[in-house]
Structure 1
Amino acid sequence: MNRNHCLMALAIAALTLSAVTPRVHAAKKVLYFTKSSGFEHSVVARQGDRMAHSERIMAEICAGKQVELTITKDGSYLTPDRLREFDTIVFYTTGNLLEPGTDKHPAMSQEALDALFAYVKDGGGFMAIHAGTDTLRSEPASEYTKMVGGTFRTHGAQEVATVKVVDPNFPAMKGLPVEFAFQEEWYLHQQINLGKDMRVLMLLDCPNMKQDMYKELPPQPMTWCSNYGDGRVFVTGIGHREDVWEAPWFKGMLDKAFDWTFGDVDGDASPNFEKFLK
Structure 2
Amino acid sequence: MPMWSIQQTATCGISSGRRAARLLAGLMLGLCLAASAHAAAAGGQPLRILYLSQSVGFVHDTVRRPDGGLASSEIALQAMARDSGAFSIELSQDARELTVNRLADIDVLIFSTTGALPIDRETWTAIVAWVESGRGGFVGIHSAADTALDFEGGEEAWTSFLGGRFDGHPWTQGAAIRLANLEPSHPLAAMWPDGTAYAEEIYQYVGFDPDRVRVLQTLDMSAGPLRRPYPVPVTWIRQMGQGRLFYTNLGHTPSTWEDPRFRDQIVRAITWTGGRTDVPASPNPEVQDIAAIAAFVAAEGLTPSRTPADSATIADEIRPLQSIHPEKQDGDSSAWDAARARVRAVLQK
Give the TM-score taking structure 1 as reference length: 0.82
Pick from 257, 264, 284 the counterpart of residue 252 of structure 1. Answer: 264
Whole-angstrom distance in 2 between the partners of 1:275 and 1:176: 18
Q: How far has the Cα of 1:135 moved from its partner?
A: 0.5
User: Contact 2:62–2:253 at 8 Å: present in 1 too?
Assistant: yes
Whole-angstrom distance in 1 between the partners of 2:66 and 2:191: 34
SS at match of 2:196: strand
Whole-angstrom distance in 1 between the partners of 2:287 and 2:194: 18
Q: How far has the Cα of 1:132 moved from its partner?
A: 0.4
Q: Does 1:175 align with 2:194?
A: no
Q: How far has the Cα of 1:84 moved from its partner?
A: 2.8
Structure-2 residue corresponding to 1:115: 126
Distance 1:23 1:275, change over 3 A: closer
Structure-1 residue corresponding to 2:11: none
Whole-angstrom distance in 1 between the partners of 2:190 and 2:43: 29
Q: How far has the Cα of 1:25 moved from its partner?
A: 2.3
User: Contact 2:148–2:154 at 8 Å: present in 1 too?
Assistant: no
Pick from 138, 147, 159 the counterpart of residue 161 of structure 2. Answer: 147
Structure-1 residue corresponding to 2:297: none
Q: Does 1:38 align with 2:57?
A: yes
Whole-angstrom distance in 2 between the partners of 1:114 and 1:199: 24
Higher helix residue share: 2
Q: How does 1:100-249 map to 2 (within 5 A)?
A: 108-123=119-134, 124-136=136-148, 142-156=156-170, 157-158=172-173, 159-193=175-209, 196-211=211-226, 215-249=227-261
Distance 1:65 1:206, change over 3 A: same
Q: Please say which of residues 133-142 and 256-265 is displaced more in the overlay.
A: 133-142
Q: How far has the Cα of 1:111 moved from its partner?
A: 2.2
Q: How far has the Cα of 1:139 moved from its partner?
A: 7.7
Structure-1 residue corresponding to 2:304: none
Whole-angstrom distance in 2 between the partners of 1:37 and 1:118: 25
What letter corresponds to residue 182 of structure 1 in structure 2? Y
Whole-angstrom distance in 1 between the partners of 2:181 and 2:256: 17
Q: How far has the Cα of 1:23 moved from its partner?
A: 5.8
What letter corresponds to residue 197 of structure 1 in structure 2? R
Q: Does 1:265 align with 2:277?
A: yes
User: Contact 2:178–2:196 at 8 Å: present in 1 too?
Assistant: yes
What letter corresponds to residue 91 of structure 1 in structure 2? F
Q: Please say which of residues 164-173 and 138-147 is displaced more in the overlay.
A: 138-147
Q: How far has the Cα of 1:143 moved from its partner?
A: 1.9
Structure-2 residue corresponding to 1:8: none
Whole-angstrom distance in 1 between the partners of 2:258 and 2:65: 17
What number of residue pairs does the alignment pair up?
Answer: 244
Q: Please say which of residues 88-97 and 267-276 is displaced more in the overlay.
A: 267-276
Structure-2 residue corresponding to 1:102: none
What letter corresponds to residue 200 of structure 1 in structure 2? V
Whole-angstrom distance in 1 between the partners of 2:61 and 2:91: 16
SS at match of 2:115: coil
Q: How far has the Cα of 1:207 moved from its partner?
A: 4.6
- Cα displacement string for residues 196-236 of structure 1 (whole angstroms, at most 9, x for unaligned residues): 3210000111353323xxx2333311000001221100000
User: Contact 1:29–1:69 at 8 Å: present in 2 too?
Assistant: yes
Distance 1:163 1:58, change over 3 A: same
Q: How far has the Cα of 1:24 moved from its partner?
A: 5.7
What letter corresponds to residue 120 of structure 2 in structure 1? S
Q: Which runs of 5+ in 2 are unaligned?
A: 1-40, 290-314, 316-349
SS at match of 1:128: strand
What letter corresponds to residue 102 of structure 2 in structure 1? R
User: Contact 1:151–1:189 at 8 Å: present in 2 too?
Assistant: yes
Whole-angstrom distance in 2 between the partners of 1:72 and 1:149: 24
RMSD (CA atoms): 2.0
Give the TM-score taking structure 2 as reference length: 0.66
Q: How far has the Cα of 1:87 moved from its partner?
A: 1.3
Distance 1:169 1:85, change over 3 A: farther
Whole-angstrom distance in 2 between the partners of 1:63 and 1:46: 21
Whole-angstrom distance in 1 between the partners of 2:203 and 2:181: 17
- Cα displacement string for residues 41-69 of structure 1 (whole angstroms, at most 9, x for unaligned residues): 11001011211001100111112232111
SS at match of 2:105: coil
Bigger CA radius of gyration: 2
Structure-2 residue corresponding to 1:82: 102
- Cα displacement string for residues 91-143 of structure 1 (whole angstroms, at most 9, x for unaligned residues): 00011002xxxxxxxxx333222211111111121011000010117989622
What letter corresponds to residue 96 of structure 2 in structure 1? S
Sequence identity (%) = 32
SS at match of 1:216: coil
